[in-house]
Amino acid sequence: MVSLISSNFNNLRPDSKLTRMSQRRKFIKQSLMGSALFIPGVSSIAEATAPSLFKGEKPLILSTWNHGLPANAAAVEKLKSGGSIIDAVETGVKDTELDLSNLSVGLQGLPDREGITTLDASIMSGDGSCGAVAFVRQVKHPISLARVVMEKTPHVMIVGEGAKQLAIAEGFPIEKEELSPGAKKAYLKWKETSQYKPVINIENHDTIGMIGMDAKGNLAGSCTTSGLSYKMHGRVGDSPIIGAGLFVDNEVGAATATGLGESIIRICGSFLIVELMRQGRTPQEACEEAVRRLIAKNSKDIKDIQAGFLAMNKDGEVGAYAVHPGFNFAQATLQNNVMIDSGSHFKKG
């Protein structure tokens, strides 16, 4: 189902700078005005067809979940001001990394079992350049640190204390280590029982993965998260793993993932989708096949596992699919920015 979630705009961050926020609101308002309120033919997105409203339009930006809407707006603003597609996907998710209302991305995210928030992020360009950081503490913008790994080091992934040292060397501010009010409240509540089990995301609020294409057809992607809440200290999910949480290839397309990282890593989810597209599948078919594969490899616990994939090919066709209902994504062009509900393998009820 396609939905224009105007109510989401009320959820814009409390800490946004006013100017940026009003610019973004203006863009979102324009987006809504530019979009049909009812879009014939896509009110129930056929699960075998691409759920793209703006097929073939470039630039095109896609992001996971409701927070994708303001993130897309920030990415589009960056492109409009002359930024590259890699600038756009970095800038877009930085918006989410600062979103105090979001407890699954950025330093305000829910902590691990020890009460420590650790962050994972990756960034990739369609030419194969990529960078990632994992198990990072006290850095507000892990996505920018991932970009530093990509552009200023000979490596692809730097983790933990080493990532923090890189951040210091590159002049990133190191934040005080304390839980955000929302995370602290949730953590104290969790500690009452300290149950360790993955929970299906029912709040429509999760990791942000963003994939985008510029006007010339160059692709890039980014993914950033505080990971699974109450994870074991040191646990790293799919988001910073190139090929699992994110994969981009200018010759084919791009894919990103959200949900239980372990299930996504097991099937190399994003790489799988790009390779299926390389073999001729549409983004939608590729996402559906990845979900089937994920279910097959995680069948014992599938009732408790949510995972969703989002993809585009170089022709601007779009695909999205999840294990369970509830996954949605934001899709933006220069003029429009709308939320679309993904189909899922298991249906409601």
Rule CB under 6 A: which residues touch ligand SD4? Answer: 104, 201, 206-207, 225, 227-228, 237-239, 258-261
Give the separation between CA 131 and CA 57, rounded to whole angstroms.
28
Of 239 and 282, the one with the shorter C-beta distance to ligand SD4 is: 239
Q: How far is the CB of 100 from ligand SD4 (least distance, A)?
A: 18
Q: Where are the beta strands (DSSP E) in the chain?
A: 2-3, 60-64, 119-125, 130-136, 157-159, 208-213, 219-225, 246-249, 253-259, 307-313, 318-322, 328-332, 337-341, 343-344
Tell me the angle at which helices 160-169 and 142-152 cross, rounded to the nearest 10 degrees: 80
Chain centroid offset of residue 137 CA: 20
Q: Which tokens sit at 145?
A: 């640190």
Q: Shortest approach of ligand SD4 to residue 342 CB, angstroms?
A: 14
Q: In the bound complex, what is the minimum distance in angstroms from residue 206's beta carbon to ligand SD4?
A: 5
Residue with the CB atom nearest ligand SD4 in the bound state: 237
Closest contact distance (angstroms) between CB of 17 and ligand SD4 is 27
Structure tokens at 186: 């949730």
Q: Answer yes or no: are the C-beta atoms of 136 and 163 closer than 8 Å.
A: yes
- The residue among 282, 263, 265 whose CA lies nearest residue 274 is 282
Could you write out the DSSP letters of every residue in 15-61? TS-HHHHHHHHHHHHHHHHHS-SS-TT-SS--TTS---SSTT-SSEE
* Residue (51 or 259) nearer to ligand SD4, CB: 259
Nearer CB in complex with ligand SD4: 158/257:
257
Nearer to ligand SD4, 221 or 227 (CB): 227
Q: Which is nearer to ligand SD4, 73 or 134 (CB)?
A: 134
Q: Which C-beta is closer to ligand SD4: that of 308 or that of 316?
A: 308
Which among 64, 117, 207, 224 is annotated as catalytic? Answer: 207
How far does Cα 309 stand from its chain's mean position?
10
3-state helix, strand, coil in the chain (%, to 5): 35, 20, 45
Give yes or no: 207 in active site: yes
Query: Strand 253-259 to strand 307-313: parallel, antiparallel, or no bridges (unpaired)?
Result: antiparallel
Compute the least distance from the CB of residue 245 to ligand SD4, in Å: 6
Block residue for tokens 């099937």: 267
- Shortest distance (Å) from residue 104 CB to ligand SD4: 6
Task: Output the CA torsion 132→230→328→86 (10° steps).
Answer: -20
> Among all residues, which ones are annotated catalytic?
207
